[in-house]
A and B are shown apart, each in its own frame.
Chain A
């Protein structure tokens, strides 16, 4: 493929006094599927807006397939599609008209694939956009992004508003894109989504890239949230292998476990548990468990343009 699909050097963005992104060095090779994780406000959307030339960087540079993304945006955009997380479209156009327009503007479209996507996402394309629900509008921008089969897909929390069935359809599309050799850069705050799709993961926190590696290398982040209601006082979990944080409130115990849960279960079973809940922790909980509270993330930095 030659030049990497995405390459940034010291890419930074400051809004007023808030650093939305600080010195990002990122490289994504052609054909890779990369997840971009971080809590809300970490700088994911800012990164994508910089790559697309929608906002100007305070410092640094970005290249897409070796083309300067900031100085020659039109050329850079020929090989990519972008799917935003929240879609505002022209209310008077129908879904089909919107797709026609965006295909003509893009310059390329695989019409058979477009029709297949419309069927797969069960989109009623003859409805006007103003009659669509949020999920249906999201389907339109997803189909618009996928239908040109671009070399690079930039996706910003693309499944927001989709029901679980459609999320499955979306995952299938991403697998197909990978099989076609397309590069995918997927921003998300849902760990399981990234886990199911991506070869490599970057983790962003307070505008800085804190981790970048394969999923295997990220194993240490994998954890389970456990909530147990005990008959008596909950047991002391200090020294139990795998337990990374725990707190007690009356008879209720909450903790996070990495690796095997067996040691924890043994301790709990011995002290009489009558209810046990476990679930995948949210990304925020993971961050808290792994990095500690840290400085409060600047809540508004991620999406400065959408503050309503």
Chain B
């Protein structure tokens, strides 16, 4: 039971943290709604506007009973937390199953009394414990919030909401575990699982975009979670496909684990290849070569999500034009337009987060080079640490800028194809406008890399998560200005709803450059450290 114990310990720690975040998100949505829209009339207006907006329905899932705290909370939390949970689930599962295996930590254990199949089953059991902790913490907070007089929900209904909120995480823990058996490395497994998540989201989005394809919802794991409709119109029957999927997926994971060798993949992967040495002339070329598959994946994800947002922009914008409440909510985010541009200004915030994830991912990749000892092969040769780091950062900055252009072009293609009145240069500018926050976070990541290398990846992902939650929760609920200012996304103008703000963009990039310089100096002067 060593593997089960190890996996459970690490999954629990993470489950505990994310349970608090899930619960906090629900609490802030529910209590914030009650405070921001205290009267029935205000709530009716809000429901009328959002409830019929295909654009918002497509992005976050359909809204039911927005005139109630319960309906608003579910609409606000379920779509977002399903995706956040799914990302958590697939990363946790691939890291704890495949990552541990790749690092060779299972070799000793599996050479003993444990079979490969047993090891996989134990890993799944450990992940199950982590999920239980996530569910337990989320449910505790949600039930407590439900007892507040402003919210007023029975404990049973609150508990069912918690189950639904954790549904995405549970499904994608299984997807991650299964992909860990199919792929040859942790990174490849995470890429496969992210592809499944992207397809699920796209199916759900099309199903909810109001074009008569609602049945597609049953084809998507995220659609099942949405079908649960907690609080507003509970459909426990949707737990059936979720349960079946998890059982079948877990069984397939254990079965496949027994059929392959430790460290090998199920899907055939070529172990030999002719030498392609075009890029391998130095540390920067190596960075391009090793980061390329991941970066292309991010580019595809960014272009595709911008395209989808563009596709629904016209319909969403029309609804916004007739809305005063929404306009006020958006005004807090900085948007003032009342057309498709206003919607795009708001929706591109989500793409900004993805661009930021691409950026900080490059910092954690650099740290992984150091932690694994691969960096040593370069710096024991005539390569300075500063040259290595500068090369990697140049590749990362290039990847971020291209991502910005792709976001703008994607949104334009989507919006223009539906006949929305948007201009291509304005949308490309809006896409590039997503880069400064990402570059700022990247610079802060380099600072963390230089000063607290072992904690660097935790720090950068915490910064992204914090910025996202503060901006999305705080922006709609209307919270403290100082709190909002701690989010890098809040410093970004909501282009194309408003013109990109050159001053704040320069300030963001300036902070990033300064942090990167300090971090770079610290990195050059310190000891190289392992994991």
Contacts and interface: CB of A to CB of B under 8 A. Distances in A.
A89 B272 contact: no
Given A52-B380, A82-B380, A91-B185, A306 B374 contact: no
Contact of A56 (B286, B381, B526): B526
Interface string A83-121: 010111111111011001110111100000000000000
B290 interface: yes
The contact size tier of chain B is 35 or more
B17 interface: no
B280 A84 contact: no
Nearest to A125: B275
A11 interface: no
Interface string B359-378: 00000000000001110111
Contacts of A86: 373
A251 interface: no
A102 B527 contact: no
Interface in A44-83: 49, 52-56, 73-75, 77-78, 80-82
B489 to A, nearest CB: 33
A126 B272 contact: yes
Nearest to A134: B104
B377 A141 contact: yes
A222 interface: no
A97 B276 contact: yes
Contacts of B282: 104-105
Interface in B502-531: 525-531
A131 B377 contact: no
A144 B283 CA distance: 16
Interface string B259-282: 000010000001111111100111
Contacts of A130: 184-185, 263, 271
Contact of A74 (B274, B280, B384, B529): B384
A38 B263 CA distance: 34
What is the interface of chain B mostly: helix, strand, loop, or mixed? loop
Contact of A89 (B281, B374, B380, B525): B374
Given A56-B526, A90-B290, A306 B373 contact: yes
A308 interface: yes
A128 B382 contact: no
A94 B377 contact: no
Contacts of A88: 372-374
A106 B273 contact: no
Nearest to A307: B530
A196 interface: no
Contacts of B276: 97
B1 interface: no
A127 interface: yes
A296 interface: no
A257 to B, nearest CB: 36
Contacts of B103: 308
B379 interface: yes
A77 B527 contact: no
Most buried by B among A55, A127, A130: A130
Nearest to B525: A56
Contacts of A55: 527-528
B378 A105 contact: yes
Contacts of B280: 93, 97, 100-101, 104
10 contacts: A49-B528, A54-B376, A54-B528, A74-B384, A96-B275, A101-B281, A105-B283, A305-B527, A305-B529, A308-B103
Across chains A and B, which 3 residue pairs bring their CB atoms closest together, nearest first?
A305-B530, A131-B271, A55-B527
Given A84-B376, A105-B282, A128-B270, 12 more contacts: A54-B528, A77-B381, A81-B381, A82-B376, A82-B380, A86-B373, A89-B377, A107-B381, A107-B382, A127-B271, A130-B184, A131-B272
